[in-house]
Amino acid sequence: MSEKSRSTLITGASRGIGRAIAFRLARQGHRIAVNYNTHPGDAEEVVETIKSEGGEAIAVQGSVAEREQVDAMFAATEEAFGPVQILVNNAGIIDDALILRMKDQAWDRVIQTNLNGTYYCCHRAVPGMVKARWGRIINISSVVGISGNIGQANYSASKGAIHSLTYSLAKELSSRNITVNAIAPGYIETATVDGLPQKTKDTIMTWIPMRRFGVPDEVAVAAEFLAKDAARYTTGIILRTDGGMAISGSN
């Protein structure tokens, strides 16, 4: 483990992409706070797996959509591992509908969780990073934040806004040795994608030049790179892990 061990908080880390990132960063020697909201058993399984491999991890409950809960999860992480030095904003939700049928509540829930939750976590993490003059913020967005998607106006808007947030924070914080980047996955084999009807999956597959869905670890390896000391000159990028979907123009 060549990396210095750093206090790391990964939101939405009990399952899917967040889980894969937790394992990757733990194997680099980082101390991992596994945030979850509604799946405590899955979070504890991630923690126990990390510990069984000789790493350090804790589970921290909280919804990123609530400022007070964000403060609490940071406080728990700081008590266990010290100020957060690597922040991965992975937690997010979908609530899809065509704009003709979309309810205000669906718009508000997605923006509150995906965009405001990312802001709350960044806002809470940055003072400690500035004081340490070192930090890594990695925002998990989506390819639809680049291309848009039918029935996902709220989700696409939230992820596109995260790209703009990433650019702005990268400019603000680069002089303090803090990098801010985003990863924009395409369709990844997670519970959300697994639950899609087969007809929908077949249609999506025609949008992907590589003709397959990704797996969570293919996103996690991108996060592993961006968290490294060696990535210190990489900031303000949107790293697509989408099998070429963003350049296909088919969706």
Residue type, 41: G
Give the DSSP H or E segment for 7.
strand 7-10
- In this prediction, residues 83-90 reach a mean pLDDT of 98
66-70, 199-203, 242-246: which is most confident:
66-70
* DSSP type of residue 1: -
Among candidate residues 36, 155, 167, 233, the one labeled active-site is 155
β-bridge partners, 217:
none
Q: How far apart are CA 133 and CA 64, in angstroms?
A: 25
pLDDT reading at 128 higher than 80: yes
Chain centroid to Cα 77, Å, comes to 17
240: three-class secondary structure by DSSP = strand
The architecture of the domain spanning 7-239 is 3-Layer(aba) Sandwich (3.40)
Predicted confidence band of residue 250 (pLDDT cuts 50, 70, 90): low
Residue type, 7: S
Q: How far apart are CA 217 and CA 129, in angstroms?
A: 27
pLDDT reading at 1 higher than 50: no
pLDDT at 246: 84
- In this prediction, residues 140-145 reach a mean pLDDT of 96
pTM for the complete prediction? 0.95
Residue for token pair 């790493």? 55
β-bridge partners, 138:
88, 181
pLDDT reading at 107 higher than 60: yes
* 233 is a catalytic site residue: no
Asked if residues 17 and 188 have their Cβ atoms less than 8 Å apart, the reply is yes
